[in-house]
Amino acid sequence: MRAKGAAWALIATSLPMFMVAVDNLVVTNALTVISRDLGVRQSGLQWVVNGYILAFAGLLLAGAALGDRIGRRRVFVWGIGLFTVASAACALSDSAGLLVAARVVQGAGAAAVLPVSLTLAVAAVAPERRPLAVGVWGGVNGLGIALGPMAGGLVTQGLDWHWIFWINVPVGAVALPLALWAIRESKGAPRRLDVPGIAFVTGAVVAAVWGIVQAADSGWTAVRPLAGLAVSAALFAGFTWWQRRTPTPLAPLHLYRVRPFMLSNALALTMYFGVFGAIFFLAQFMQGPMGYSPFEAGLRTLPWTAAPMVIVPLASALVGRVCGGPLQAAGCLLQAVALVWLALISKPGLAYGQMVGAMVLAGVGMGLVFAANPATVIGSVAEHEHNLASGVNNTIREFGGALGIAVLTAVYTHGGLRSAVLTGAAVVFAGAFAGLAIGRTPAPRASAPAPSAPHSAPSDRPEPSRLP
């Protein structure tokens, strides 16, 4: 029964997180249909994806901090509710503006779910089982991201693109009461919510992506892209200044002096940059020059998306025995090679069979990073900072995805598909060097004063036991 209690807690944290992860890329194979139905150009189309990702990335640290302050389960449940309602709003949208606005609200709900989900999952098991819990969490998250394009294509072709959002409603209706029943409430050290920090980092992320999006239409030397990037740089500088000044920082700067933490987050940014950007364009390439329907395009990405299901459990077992750095480096290297392969062969008249080897290679690389990256980040900080570290890691990953889509769109506009995917490959390849640097240094613990003991709220139901 003790194992069953912990298993239910893992399911309760994983189900909403899977739903949130799927929605990162669920619209990619529906973009062609959405563009036709709503009359959206390529530069506007990316906001259907990036509206979600930017709200998600900009508010993740706020979600983590709010969970520490008022209760992680409470924030988790609020996030599920908001995400579910916003999904219904997306499904009811009849214009691009309404769809993007609803996607932004969806992203805000996701930002309340994801950062606390890892902390709640880790808290459900005994310390010696935590690498396994992190591996399960990383695998489910990676699986959701990987299956998003196929699920979107299947639903769009079989029903209508609105249904890729309607399907979240019954999932949310099940996930919400399950979370209330299976998850024990907990809080971190009581601290004030860093509202200026949230404003700085959210504004910086939005300004950076907006500037890059403008470059796709106007060129890199035009006033709008330069202004957007300048504002972003100023806000990031302001964020760093504020984090040094405030007694309750959103992202304490001492964490960035922990080498595995810093390098793993840098690697995550490069990986998501390449993966999100490449999938965004390859999905449209398969429906354009290759002539596949949304479902056929999604189905043909299975060699890429199915590989992590096999690799993540195997890699998770290795993370506890060897440093996660080499695994992450190998994952980035394989992903970069796969993207170069795809870039060189992607042209009109391409046969699908020529893509399979590259997709399998990409899936293996993605699985290695999905397993090792969150485990390395969590393992490099003190236990009372797990929630904060998870929030930082997820923020950087989502920012990498949004940045990848925006930058590669600008490259695609002026240089075509091959240039865009090769750019993504170069960025992912750079991440391999960060992984190698992690491998040369044992993962230390972040040096920070321990907070007061975590608070556990009373509950009328039996407490889920930890795995023995």
Residue-wise pLDDT tens digits, 420-441: 889 999 999 999 998 888 864 4
Residue 122 within any structural domain of the chain: yes
Same domain? 138 vs 225: no
Q: Domain check: are 403 and 288 in the same one?
A: yes
User: In the structure encoding, which two tokens stand for residue 362, read together?
Assistant: 């990409």
Q: Decide: residue 432, CB within 10 A, 0-12 exposed, 13-18 middle, 19+ buried.
A: buried
Supply 171's token pair.
């999932």
Same domain, 272 and 218: no
343, 421 Cβ separation under 8 angstroms = yes
311 in a domain, yes or no? Answer: yes
Q: With 0-12 CB in 10 A as exposed, 13-18 as middle and 19+ as buried, what is 197? A: buried
> Structure tokens of 306?
């199915």
The whole-number pLDDT of residue 460 equals: 38
Helix, strand, coil percentages in the chain from 3-state DSSP, rounded to 5:
80, 0, 20
Are residues 312 and 142 in contact, defined by beta-carbon separation less than 8 angstroms? yes
List the CATH number of the domain containing 110: 1.20.1250.20
What pLDDT, on the 0 to 100 scale, is given for residue 188?
66
Same domain membership, residue 229 and residue 260: no
The values of phi and psi at residue 141, to 5°, are -60, -45
**In whole angstroms, how far apart are CA 267 and each of 41, 324, 402, 431?**
32, 12, 15, 5
- Answer yes or no: is 153 within a domain: yes
- Most distant CA atoms of the chain, gap in Å: 64
pLDDT in tens, 9-35: 778 888 888 888 777 667 766 777 787
Same-domain check for residues 346 and 422:
yes
pLDDT at 238 over 70: yes
Token pair for 357: 């080897």
461 DSSP 8-state letter: S
User: Residue 20: left if φ>0, alpha if ψ -120 to 50, beta else—which one?
Assistant: alpha
Closest to 125 in 3D by CA, of 113, 143, 114, 137: 137
Whole-angstrom distance, CA of residue 288 vs CA of residue 206? 30
> Considering only 279-283, 397-401, 412-416, 460-464, which range has the smallest mean pLDDT?
460-464
Q: Is the pLDDT of residue 176 over 80?
A: yes
Percent of the chain's residues with pLDDT above 70: 84
Claim to verify: residue 239 and residue 353 sit in the same structural domain:
no
Residue 455, strand partner residues: 187
H or E segment at 46?
A: helix 42-70
| Amino acid at residue number 209 | V
Q: How far is CA 217 from CA 59, 99, 220, 413, in A?
A: 28, 22, 9, 8
In whole angstroms, give the CA distance from residue 266 to residue 432.
Answer: 10
CA dist., res. 170 & res. 149, Å (int): 20
154 shares a domain with 215: no
Of residues 147, 24, 434, 126, the one with CA closest to residue 270: 434
Q: Take residue 388 and report the two structure tokens written for it.
A: 């904060």
Structure tokens at 215: 């470059």
Domain count, the chain: 2
Q: Are residues 170 and 227 in the same domain?
A: no
pLDDT band of residue 162 (cuts 50, 70, 90) is confident
For residues 168-184, average pLDDT: 86
Looking at the domain assignment, is residue 366 inside a domain?
yes
Q: What is the pLDDT of residues 115-152, one digit of tens each?
A: 788 778 777 776 667 667 777 776 777 677 667 766 77
Q: 10 Å Cβ neighbour count for 97? A: 13
Q: Which residues contact 202 (CB under 8 A, 6 or more apart)?
A: 58, 59
Boundary (domain end) residue, out of 247, 275, 290: 247
**Which DSSP string do the residues of 17-30 spell out, in sequence order?**
HHHHHHHHHTTGGG
pLDDT confidence bin for 158, thresholds 50/70/90: low
User: Could you say which of 247, 268, 292 is where a domain stops?
Assistant: 247
Grade residue 191 by pLDDT with cuts at 50, 70 and 90. Answer: low
pLDDT of the residue at 190: 62
Q: Is the pLDDT reported for residue 444 higher than 60?
A: no
Q: Within 13 A of 4's CA, how many CA atoms are on the CB side?
A: 2
**pLDDT band at 448, cuts 50/70/90?**
very low
Q: Looking at residue 285, what DSSP letter applies?
A: H
Domain assignment of residue 363, given as a range = 2-183+248-439
Same domain, 369 and 252: yes
pLDDT for 272-320, tens place per residue?
Answer: 898 877 877 777 788 777 777 777 777 787 788 777 777 777 777 776 6
Please tell me the distance from the alpha carbon of residue 390 to that of residue 241, in angstroms, as a whole number.
22
132 is a domain residue: yes
Assign 454 a pLDDT band (cuts: 50, 70, 90).
very low
DSSP conformational letter for 322 = S
Q: What is the pTM assigned to this prediction? A: 0.73
Q: Do 84 and 226 lie in a common domain? A: no
Considering the chain, what is the average pLDDT of its residues?
Answer: 78
**Is 459 among the domain residues?**
no
Q: Answer whether residue 414 is part of any domain.
A: yes
Domain co-membership, 127 together with 213: no
Residue 85 has pLDDT above 90, yes or no: yes
Q: Is the pLDDT of residue 204 over 90?
A: no
Are 418 and 288 contained in the same domain? Answer: yes
Q: Could you read off the pLDDT of 318-360 as tens digits, one per residue?
A: 766 666 788 888 899 999 999 999 888 888 778 888 888 888 9
Residue 227 lies in a domain: yes
Token pair belonging to 384: 């009372």
Lowest-confidence region among 63-67, 368-372, 386-390: 386-390
Q: By C-alpha distance, which of 271, 317, 32, 10 is closest to 142? A: 271
pLDDT at 455 over 50: no
